[in-house]
Amino acid sequence: MDPNFYVVIMAGGIGSRFWPYSRNDRPKQFLDVLNTGQTLLQMTANRFRSICPPENIYIVTNSTYVGLVKEQLPYLGDEQILAEPVRRNTAPCVAYAAYKIRQKNPDATMVVAPSDHAIFHETEFVQTIQAAMQEAAKGDKLITLGIRPNRPETGYGYIQYVREPGATFKKVKTFTEKPQLELAKTFLDSGDFVWNAGIFIWHVSAITSAFDKHLPELAEIFEDCPDCYYSPREEEFIRSAYSQSKNISIDYGIMEKAENVYVVLADFGWSDLGSWASLHEIRQKDGSNNAVDGNAVLFDVQDCMIKSDKDHLLVVQGLQGYLVAQCDDVIIICDKDDEARFREYVNEVKAQKGERFL
């Protein structure tokens, strides 16, 4: 196990597309979404414990969730939980982790991963990550993972790579955000596009150099006080840093602009668990393609996601392609696949009913 390998897990999102199961006070990464006895955050952290020492696992989360992180990962020290005072997307999140880790270990190679993805073939996943970290440790590559697509999915971003026979790490040509169906079909047919898993691997010198070049304002903010990291002054410094940081993703801010981006193609049973539809996709289903989690009796129901707690019974008739979910004090019945509407639902509930049901 290489002491220069570090893992940064991003765990600050609110999971609005999983509302009302995912709530503001306990988002989906802190829930046992897959009924394994572990939350998504715990599964993610445990997945990386064979890659680096536990003291090299860092969690970046909103300050609201620090208590939940400590509760679910009690082996972490306080310095391993990076509390964001406000949400500013993934570029400031990565900058905070990179500059902090660099201050402790300038020879560090780090993997940055979301906390709420499902990985079904963990041996293959670990092997892929280890190979990518060994490659990233050699020099200046910014590496990302690309998942071989098996359908024209419109809910994922895509990476186009340069065809290089025999090359494990392929030069990235383009990034594309979630495409329309026809474009997704074209991507699939072309054979040189993969799904963007949102998992990154790089040496700290490579990513901080990329910040210097492509997001110099953020670089200046987070390297302004290197001695503040791992000190009592860190919280105040980070509060000031985030107040100056713009809201920008690492994909848009760096990965789409940098010329030293490479992708390694992977197939380890991956889902980003970004929506109810993605949960339905990976769940065991009955003969009518219904995924049932909880107590339910169904009549003439097809292609639905049904969820309730053990104390409630759902009786559902005549629906196709719907989500029917009872989660605590909210019942939702809606089109399962129209994930863009969930933010609209959340905003309208907030406008009409306040924060209570969020």
Residue 340: what pLDDT?
Answer: 78
Give the H or E element holding residue 357: none
Whole-angstrom Cα distance, residue 98 to residue 82? 11
Taking the whole predicted model, whether its pTM rises above 0.85 is answered as yes
Residue 275: what pLDDT?
Answer: 85
φ/ψ of 210, rounded to 5, equals: -65, -40
Residue 111's CB is within 10 A of a number of other CB atoms, namely 23
Name residues of the chain where pLDDT drops below 50. Answer: none
Structure tokens belonging to residue 326: 């009872």
Structure tokens belonging to residue 274: 């970004």
pLDDT of 83-102, one tens digit each?
A: 999 999 999 999 999 999 99
Domain boundaries, the chain: 5-141+198-260, 276-353
* CATH number of the 5-141+198-260 domain: 3.90.550.10
Amino acid at 8: V
Residue 332: what pLDDT?
Answer: 95
Whole-angstrom Cα distance, residue 154 to residue 156? 6
Structure tokens belonging to residue 125: 């996943």
Whole-angstrom Cα distance, residue 50 to residue 358? 36
Residue 123: what pLDDT?
Answer: 92
Residue 338: what pLDDT?
Answer: 84
Q: Which of 320, 318, 294 is nearest to 308 (CA)?
A: 294
> Can you tell me which residue has the tokens 């280890």?
130
Residue 324: what pLDDT?
Answer: 97
Residue 257: what pLDDT?
Answer: 93
List, in sequence order, every residue forming a beta bridge with 151; answer none if it has no partner: none
Rg (CA), the chain: 21
pLDDT of 227-269, one tens digit each?
A: 999 999 999 999 999 999 999 999 999 999 999 999 999 888 8
Residue 166: what pLDDT?
Answer: 79
Structure tokens belonging to residue 134: 């060994």
Helices (H) and strands (E) in the chain, counts: 11, 17
